[in-house]
Structure 1
Amino acid sequence: MMDIKCAIVDDEPFARKGIAAYIDKISFLKLTAECEDAIELSEYLNTEHVDLIFLDIEMPELSGLDFIATLSSPPKIIIVSAYEKYALRGYELEVVDYLLKPVPFGRFLKAAHRAHEIITTAHAHSLNISKKAQEEHIFIKVDKKLKKVMLQDILFIQSMGNYVIVHTLHSQDITYCTLQQMFSLLPKHPFISCHRSYIVNMNNISAIEGNQIQVGSYKIPIARNLKDEVMTLILRHQ
């Protein structure tokens, strides 16, 4: 059974302790973070991934509902609140479930199983898409002939003025086109522009050190003005 990484967000220590105890009883839930408020969670999500959030609503500075509204691609969320009046708004934001405090364990378990089903189904769909993507390819003109290049084999693409070098697992091919023209041929994921002279396949990144991306034996620079965006895309990429 797939493990679900989850976080708790509640400004009440006793409430966090109770939810953590419930999570500990469910084998497929793995608690990775406990946060006192939505701002702390937001900082955590900048560098870490979670599948599921158990979220309180009435918290200082930023409410749980307002926090959900700030996320473009939020994890799955189960609201845990003492107030029933927010339920409609919660479901409008497509939360998995809405639990009223104090939450009986049986009700909590039902919500956890619902979240597990939704998340594992989405994960399976993602794997199918990834498998299909591995079969995709492009044709580039090399030495007066069209050469088939599998997208999964591309490490990175380097600009050389009006030409680009396509670095793959097996070869380095020069073709006549600009980097921008090449970028338009590629799917948005897993390819990213990390520098005005480079496109990188995120699936083949082995390490990140300072302002450089390690791809195979190559070190690719990250433009200073793109670093935050690039790091966010890489950390969220699966």
Structure 2
Amino acid sequence: MSPIDCLIVDDEPIARDIIRTYCAHLPYLRVAGMCGSALEAKAALMERKADIVFLDINMPVMDGIAFLKTLKSPPQIIFTTAYKEYAVDAFDLSACDYLLKPFSLERFIVAVDKAMEKIQTTASLPVDTSEPKDDDYLFLKADGKIFKIRHDDLLYAEANGNYTKVTTSQHTLLPAMTFSGFEELVPKSKFLRIHRSFIINKSKIDHIEGNRVFIQNTEIPIGSNYREQFLKQIGFSS
């Protein structure tokens, strides 16, 4: 059997070491890397493939569920968390399994076996050569809840210190996420950075006047460094 490459993603060093020790008991598992944050994991997956990702949920900057939404073709995901309330969201995202900390070696092996079955099933399926379809929604954690937000309902986002103020047609949310972290979550074809502190949904623009964009009676400034690129993106030259 060829080795199965695993990536361990957890902000707690002890938790990473426990999973690495468990992996060592299974000779067909190879730990390809260990990451302390979701953004570090995203960079790691761009450099090398992983067949299974052991993914913590409650991490700073970007949580595990939000991170999974950024992956177009995710590997098998086994969530590892101390919080059972995320289980429904995890399985909605087609996670392979959900390990509640602290978990035993026996329970760990059961999760790995599930992932192995899925990997073998996927390997036997015909290759789909069609273009991948972007999901039309994202998940944001705010006020102790995880909100599923359709791209079409998202109006604009504003940098707010270590948070990002996200305005939708139904809510104003303040997830504990950096502005650059939020920018990574949304498709660049639909969402445009028009100012160092603002990202807007292109389809929600009512009109543009001078150096201002209007979205549902809200006036949003266009930064001078972004104006030329923004006008090109909507089909105008400056």
* Pairwise TM-score range, normalised by the shorter structure: 0.5 to 0.7
- Report sequence identity in percent: 40
| Aligned position for 1:85 | 85
Q: For 1:47 and 1:31, locate their aligned partners in 2 and report how far apart those are by CA, in whole Å.
A: 15
Q: How far off is 1:98 after superposition?
A: 0.3
Q: For 2:22 and 2:65, locate their aligned partners in 1 and report how far apart those are by CA, in whole Å.
A: 23
| Amino acid in the other structure paired with 1:3 | P
| Amino acid in the other structure paired with 1:19 | I
| Amino acid in the other structure paired with 1:112 | V
Deviations 1:103-124 (A, max 9, x none): 1110000010110011012112
Task: Judging by fraction of residues, say which structure has more helix.
Answer: 1
| Aligned position for 2:71 | 71
| Amino acid in the other structure paired with 2:76 | K
Q: For 1:31 and 1:124, locate their aligned partners in 2 and report how far apart those are by CA, in whole Å.
A: 24
Counterparts of residues 117-128 of structure 1 (less than 5 Å): 117-126=117-126
| Aligned position for 1:45 | 45
Q: What secondary structure does 2:47 align onto?
A: coil
Deviations 1:57-81 (A, max 9, x none): 0101000000001111111100000
Q: What secondary structure does 1:108 align onto?
A: helix
| Aligned position for 1:113 | 113
Q: How far off is 1:45 after superposition?
A: 1.2
Q: For 1:5 and 1:14, locate their aligned partners in 2 and report how far apart those are by CA, in whole Å.
A: 21
Q: For 2:124 and 2:21, locate their aligned partners in 1 and report how far apart those are by CA, in whole Å.
A: 29
Counterparts of residues 52-201 of structure 1 (less than 5 Å): 52-126=52-126, 129=127
Q: How far off is 1:6 after superposition?
A: 0.7
| Amino acid in the other structure paired with 2:73 | S
| Aligned position for 1:142 | none
Q: How far off is 1:49 after superposition?
A: 0.7
- The structure with the largest alpha-carbon Rg is 1
Deviations 1:133-154 (A, max 9, x none): xxxxxxxxxxxxxxxxxxxxxx
Give 4+ residue runs of structure 1 displaced > 3 Å after superposition.
none
Q: What secondary structure does 2:125 align onto?
A: helix
2:11 equivalent to 1:11: yes
Contact 1:6/1:32 (<8 A) preserved: yes
Q: How far off is 1:94 after superposition?
A: 0.3
Q: How far off is 1:188 after superposition?
A: 6.1
Q: For 1:72 and 1:125, locate their aligned partners in 2 and report how far apart those are by CA, in whole Å.
A: 18
Q: How far off is 1:48 after superposition?
A: 0.9
What are structure 1's unaligned runs of at least 5 residues? 131-186, 190-238
Change (3 A) 1:81 1:125: same
| Aligned position for 1:198 | none
Q: For 1:77 and 1:16, locate their aligned partners in 2 and report how far apart those are by CA, in whole Å.
A: 15
What are structure 2's unaligned runs of at least 5 residues? 132-238
2:2 equivalent to 1:23: no
Q: For 1:125 and 1:21, locate their aligned partners in 2 and report how far apart those are by CA, in whole Å.
A: 32
Task: State TM-score, norm by structure 1.
Answer: 0.53
